[in-house]
Chain A
Amino acid sequence: MCTTCGCTSHDHDHGHHHHGDGHDKRDHHHGEPATQGRETIAVETDILARNNRLAAGNRHLFREKGLFVLNLVSSPGSGKTTLLERTLTDLSGTSRCAVIEGDQQTDNDARRIAATGVPVKQINTGAGCHLDAHMVAHAVEDLPLDALEMLFIENVGNLVCPAAFDLGEHHKVVVLSVTEGEDKPLKYPQMFHAADVMLLNKVDLLPHLDFDVERCCEFARRVSPGIRIFQLSSRTGAGMDAWYGWLGERRVEVIEKVTGAVTNR
């Protein structure tokens, strides 16, 4: 049995295999009325409690290892993997990084990341639409955490579901490419609300598009007033230095917090 989470699965396949075969939507509201002999149990339990507990475990581990962890979320095709390739290559001399890749199928992204020389672990969620804390807890078992400073988790490309699942990261970073439309923050407010940083990617394409950058940023700030926004292009490298600057500053803050906590104990 797994000691991290108590799961009994040996292959750690945590996909969703419970899709019902019938679509006979019965009406739940015509059940039997309460009768004597029945007992009401006050449960008052957060439905995401298990995920949150496992995420807290991940967070504790990351703190112990002095590891700065980001959860990259976006719709499919926003350029997360290319952004990571560029980031990892440019930071290779200064930061020791690793990546967890989440996709429904294939290890294509893991192979692209591996080509940059950093440790990478691919999670295939099967039919699953998001990563959860349990999957991440097992994925980090295969990474050399003691030798790392930063961990990037590339979530499944999906602007809806990953918003609800804490993985234990320090920040959710939402990637939005300028080919997608400036009203994405309003159409998918949950995700932009959950994110602390927005990377507006592919800005090298702006001359060819009608994308209104100011409007997009305004929409993002409506949903998440404190959100940090970086405009960049991982193809040309424009704007990447500001993103690296933020990464470096935040990582130092996180590590100092850990060091401070140890000193004060």
Chain B
Amino acid sequence: MHEMSITQSIVEICSEHAAGRRVRSVTLEIGELSGVVPDAVEFCFQACTRDTLLEGALLTIDRIPGRALCTDCQAEVPVHAYYDPCPACGSYGLSLLGGEELRVKELEVD
């Protein structure tokens, strides 16, 4: 359940940027291969934002799809798990291009 400490970091980052203003919305980018479960972050967000500037803020999570370059056939392909083979040639030698993101994208403040 590392989503709890991930969410605490989210609240810290947002509070720092809000600089005392009330936060109305938070947008996150969570990659498909980041190992972080969006539902769990939403759940933890409730608990972690209580009595903070973020209490009641709208949480939006943008999912970033996994993408990789096949080191064998050089195709740029989608990946949904680390053990996915290249859909073009079947190789497991994939070099990830995206999908591991874990980012606070933006905030809306009063």
Residue of A18, A49, A186, A225 with most chain B CB atoms under a 10 A cut-off: A18
Whether A163 lies near B35 (C-beta < 8 A) is yes
Query: Could you list 19 examples of A-B contacts with CB < 8 Å?
Result: A16-B8, A25-B43, A28-B57, A34-B25, A39-B109, A41-B108, A43-B13, A43-B105, A48-B9, A49-B9, A160-B35, A161-B1, A161-B2, A190-B35, A192-B82, A193-B82, A221-B92, A224-B82, A225-B93
A41-B107, A49-B9, A186-B83 are known; give 12 further A-B pairs, CB within 8 A.
A16-B4, A20-B48, A28-B57, A28-B59, A29-B60, A31-B24, A31-B58, A34-B108, A38-B108, A44-B105, A47-B6, A129-B1
Chain A residues in contact with chain B, CB under 8 A? 16, 18-20, 22, 24-26, 28-29, 31-32, 34, 37-51, 128-130, 132, 160-161, 163-165, 185-186, 189-190, 192-193, 219, 221-225
Partner of A22, one of B42, B46, B102, B107: B46
Partner of B85, one of A19, A51, A192, A222: A222
Partner of A47, one of B1, B93, B103: B103
Report the minimal beta-carbon distance from B89 to chain A, rounded to whole angstroms. 14
Closest 8 CB pairs of A and B: A20-B47, A31-B58, A161-B2, A189-B82, A28-B59, A190-B35, A193-B82, A43-B104
Residues of A within 8 A of B36 (CB): 164
Chain B: residues with Cβ within 8 Å of the partner, total of 48
Q: Does B74 contact A (CB under 8 A)?
A: no
Residues of A within 8 A of B14 (CB): 43
Whether B57 lies near A31 (C-beta < 8 A) is yes
- Bound-complex Cα distance A161 to B36 (A): 9
Partner of A222, one of B47, B92, B103, B104: B92
Whether B2 lies near A165 (C-beta < 8 A) is yes
Report the minimal beta-carbon distance from B110 to chain A, rounded to whole angstroms. 6
Partner of A50, one of B12, B43, B81: B12
Given A38-B24, A129-B2, A219–B83 Cβ distance below 8 Å? Answer: yes
Whether A40 lies near B1 (C-beta < 8 A) is no
Q: Does B56 contact A (CB under 8 A)?
A: yes
Partner of A189, one of B81, B85, B105: B81
